[in-house]
Amino acid sequence: MNSLLREFDTQHDTTPFSKIKNEDFLPAFKKSIELAKNEIDHIVKNEEIPDFHNTIESLEYSGEKLGRISSIFFNLNSAETNDTIQQIAQEVSPLLSEFQNDITLNERLFEKVKYVYDHSDRSKLSKEQLTLLDKKYKSFSRNGANLAQDKKAQLREIDKELSKLKLTFGENVLAETNAFEMHVIDKSELSGLPDSAIEAAEALAKSKNKEGYIFTLDYPSYIPFMTYADNRALRKKMSLAFGSKGFQNNQNDNQENVLRLVNLRHERALLLGYESHAHFVLEERMAKSPKKVYAFLEDLLLKAKPAAEKEFSELEQFAKELDNIDTLQKWDGAYYSEKLKQKLFDLDDEQLKPYFKLENVIEGVFKVSQKLFGIQFKEVNNIDTYHEEVKTYEILDSKNQLVAVFYADFHPRKGKRGGAWMTLFKGQQIRNGKNERPHVSNVCNFTKPTKTKPSLLTFNEVTTLFHEFGHALHGMLANTTYPSLAGTNVYWDFVELPSQVLENWCYEKEALELFAFHYETGDVIPMELVEKIKRTATFQEGMKTLRQLSFGLLDMSWHSGDPSSIASVKEFEIEAFKGTSLYPDVAENCMSTSFSHIFQGGYSSGYYSYKWAEVLDADAFEYFKEEGIFNEDVATKFKDHVLSKGGTEDPMDLYVRFRGVEPKPEALLRRAGLMKA
């Protein structure tokens, strides 16, 4: 029998990866869709008067097997994909889109949901039940339930095509990333690069039976090269390759995919009665409207731009004095910023990396979490994984009860997309009196160990690990009845609060002393380095803020208006970047064609949420600093009112319950050095 369809007879009901074959997925999807349809039919044909239990709850728990199989499959498609899995994804995505539409466009089902929505005695429902009722009703009304039949058919076709386009976009970006390698024979061309980067490049070349050194567009290879390589021509080559992903008029070109995606999203929004895709998306966000998002971004831009322009001018002057560079280009930014940082603060990542051995940083994020939330971490070897590099842990509470299962997958591979993310293989829920605990995964792309050195992280990678673990905690500490409201199932502009707030501990002496030990001597990181880390935290913060704002504004430009007249992706992007550009444009490059967050992931009309959540996290961490960064009362409030509650209530209500007041942007501006304390 198909191993995906039988009960998982495993430790903690974990996924039996080694027993699953690629050919199991398609029949498992088809069968589980059939089972889910039967569950929906049962709700529709039930002759009892529709109520919360027989309609809303039954709908919530329908398709459970399908959801589990989907999470397993699409997580593999991101972390350990291959041609077969990608082909299955192209076949399956339209089926899932069609099934979702079968639910939201089912008139008899919507009649029952609407009846419960209109006739329930709300005083007898808990806050979580009220939220679920509201969410289920809106999932129909916002997705075509009130449309005429011909419009419903149109919506189905749009959704089917969108599901395939997003996959194709991501496959093209991955193919472009994998297709490029820069092969260097002469070691003298690598001056400036740290030994660790050279050693990793040499190991990669050897693994491909080649002489010399190979550099790729994977972050652990790309970032050190752009930051340290003295050879400007090679930096340019790498930069052009990175910036032209999906923009090379080849079989992996994404220009038409971008235009088709934004036009279909706009068409879909109009069909549903919204002015634009952004209006549709933001109705279910803390920000509520494109107008409010633009006001938020432009207010920050007003405050950050003068600082950014001043910082850029200083960087240009520094590059001119140092190397007689007349015009600072994009491939110069990281290199001269690092040189300037070293000059101003006498600090560079190579000084810090020996104190950030990957295993120690993992132990550090565990210790910080234990001190804050009273949970313990136990590495185990009896849980099946999808790749030998994946580590597994049991997360336990103070009574030794299981809180969550945690998968950690930290190094780049050919079948893994770039970047870092948190995901679930199984969500949390309370059902039939049992609190089913979640299976949470963090996937990153950190430098692999070499023959002579362990995996040593840059400080930016340390904050990335803490960031993703913040998301993981949101999933692990979930404690809600309904799975669709658990953990990270919150408004998109609230989801980054737990991740971004945890980054703050990376800058604190009290936290660093828990894990920042020199990998050779065992010495704790010196106080002078800790002070330098804190001083450099606001280095070029104006430029960094401007960069994030530019991405948010590009996203809103694509999605807040009518895109039907856009002929050139590149020209549209130049216009969108006009108010935030510092470097000269590079004709060969285009960001949109590899902007996976908004064209493959779930951030369309939501990229602003990173800055939005920074306002929340800076305000929240000021509270921790006022009371002590490991203060038990504050940590318990954060756990009880934010992490465990998921999307059961309005996020601002949850935040105010934790903090006592609504957040103010001044905390972020103070932390960023853009406003005096």
> Active site residue: 171, 316, 338, 468, which one?
468
Rounded to whole angstroms, how far apart are CA atoms 102 and 306?
52
Distance between CA 276 and CA 561 in Å, rounded?
6
CA–CA dist 150, 148 (Å, integer): 6
Tokens, residue 641: 């009112």
**Segment (H or E) for 599:** helix 596-599
Concerning whether 510 is annotated as a catalytic residue, the answer is: no
> Parallel, antiparallel, or unpaired: how do β-strands 402-409 and 439-443 relate?
parallel
**Residues in contact with 339: Cβ distance below 8 Å, sequence separation at least 6, in sequence order:** 318, 322
Q: What's the CA gap between 102 and 152, in Å, rounded? A: 10
* Alpha-carbon dihedral angle through residues 529, 532, 536, 538, given to the nearest 10 degrees: 120
Both tokens of 242, joined, read 């990175």
> Could you tell me which of 92, 103, 276, 217 has the C-alpha nearest to residue 166?
92
Q: Which residue has the tokens 């080559």?
A: 237
How many CB atoms are closer than 10 A to CB 189?
15
Helix (DSSP H) and strand (DSSP E) numbers for the chain: 27, 9
Residue 424 pairs in a beta bridge with 440
All residues at 6 or more sequence positions from 141 whose CB lies less than 8 Å from its CB, including other chains: none
Amino acid of residue 503? E
**Within a 10 A sphere around the Cβ of 568, how many other Cβ atoms?**
12
577 neighbors 147 (Cβ within 8 angstroms): no
Query: Which residue shows structure tokens 């810090």?
Result: 352
DSSP-assigned beta bridge partners for residue 431: 434
Provide CB contacts within 8 A for 252, sequence distance 6+. 172, 173, 175, 176, 179, 245, 246
Question: How many Cβ atoms from other residues are within 10 Å of residue 233's Cβ?
Answer: 9
Interacting residues of 147 by C-beta distance below 8 A, sequence separation 6+: 105, 155, 271, 272
- 433: tokens are 């009196």
* Residues with active-site annotation: 468
